[in-house]
Amino acid sequence: MTAIQRVFSGVQPTGNLHLGNYLGAIVNFVKLQENFDCMYCVVDLHALTMPMNVWGGPEGLVRTTREVTSAFIASGIDPKKHIVFNQSQVSGHAELAWIFNCVARIGWLNRMTQFKEKAGKDRENASVGLYDYPVLMAADILVYRATHVPVGDDQKQHLELARDIAQKFNNDFGDSIRGNGFNTGLFFPQPEPLITGPATRVMSLRDGTKKMSKSDPSEYSRINLTDDADTIAQKVRKAKTDPEPLPSEEKGLEQRPEADNLVGIYAALAGKAKADVLREFGGAQFSSFKNALVDVCVTRLAPIATEMKKLMADPGYVDSVLIDGGDRARAIADETIRATKDIVGLIHKR
């Protein structure tokens, strides 16, 4: 096996794909296609870790899996040049997760803040899968021995865990790794998080201190990728602001989370730096800035929503993309699983 530079990332099919997912992740997925072999995965097994009402039950899961796939394609991901698939089609993810379960330590998982947030107060009632979520995530990445992982800021800790698991596996099985012909002793790479762009953490439109999230009960907290122009305009106009006009320098955004968030969104969508946006709008009232924000949102997002709608109307095509991607992903994963079994000492058919 030769080590290559490979990008892997995943998005959960839990509905309400939003501007945060787009700016924090998907925009970067699109850019990275130029320089890397990329794999973009709809992580349906991860969706199952939440209660069924979150992912909508079996029919909901099928629909949202197609929706995320459509969003990938509509945003500019090329499923012929790169690999787009859903996680559950490749059994290597779950197989490697089991081996990693025996490498990762309980203490490491106990430190995961996202588990604490998602489990809420009733931790005893959270699924075992939710607790184990970051281990499956490490397996997603490492079953392809991926080297780069574009994600939003909220996934940083999970990426650190993936790096720790890769390192511990390489240490624990170092002799066997070398004995199996990997002379460097580094079977799994240390995957590097790519947390880039002006909007790695997009905040709620209702509360600038809270992350924009799929699970926020208020529709006005987020712009969904499926929103039409009128809905986008309504949500932006209702977005929370403060009474001051916009500052003309970035330091004027400190202690003004809502203003900071809206300026960040504008900058990301317009492809500008925040400082440039403030140079243009410094001193303006929010009412006029919001008009400009609606324009840039609609210009960037409405074509994606239209294309998504078209794709969603052709589930046969969307499924064929996933199946073709699944076949190509499986070929890579199977190779890693065979080598991992040799390294660990698990007998398998040759």
Contacts of 191 (CB under 8 A, 6+ apart): 8, 141, 142, 146, 147, 148, 149, 159, 162, 163, 166
Smallest separation, CB 45 to ligand TYM (Å):
9
Single out the residue of 199, 286, 271 nearest to residue 236, CA to CA.
286
Of 43 and 321, CB closest to ligand TYM: 43
Contacts of 105 (CB under 8 A, 6+ apart): none
Helix axes 315-344, 92-101, angle to 10 degrees: 40
Q: Which of 118, 168, 272, 341 is catalytic?
A: 118
DSSP string, 208-259: TTSB--TT-S-GGG--BTT--HHHHHHHHHHS---SSPPPSSGGGGTT-HHH
Q: Smaller CB distance to ligand TYM: residue 154 or 335? A: 154
What values do phi and psi take at 18, rounded to 5?
-130, 180
Residue 212 in contact with ligand TYM, rule: CB under 6 A? yes
**Given the rule CB under 6 A, which of 3-11, 97-105, 170-178, 320-328 is the region that contacts ligand TYM?**
3-11
- Residue of 148, 206, 211, 290 interacting with ligand TYM (CB under 6 A): 211
Under 8 Å between Cβ of 173 and 124: no
Positions 22 through 81 that interact with ligand TYM (CB under 6 A): 24-25, 43, 46
Q: Which is nearer to ligand TYM, 62 or 284 (CB)?
A: 62
Over the window 113 to 152, marking each residue x when it contacts ligand TYM by CB under 6 A and - when it does not, the resulting string is ------------------------x--xx-------x-xx
Please say if 274 is a catalytic residue: no
Q: Is 89 in the site for ligand TYM (CB under 6 A)?
A: no
Q: Are 84 and 35 in contact (CB under 8 A)?
A: no
Is 223 one of the binding residues for ligand TYM (CB under 6 A)?
A: no
Active site residues: 118, 211, 214
Residues of this chain that bind ligand TYM (CB under 6 A) = 8-12, 20-21, 24-25, 43, 46, 137, 140-141, 149, 151-152, 154-155, 158, 200-202, 211-212
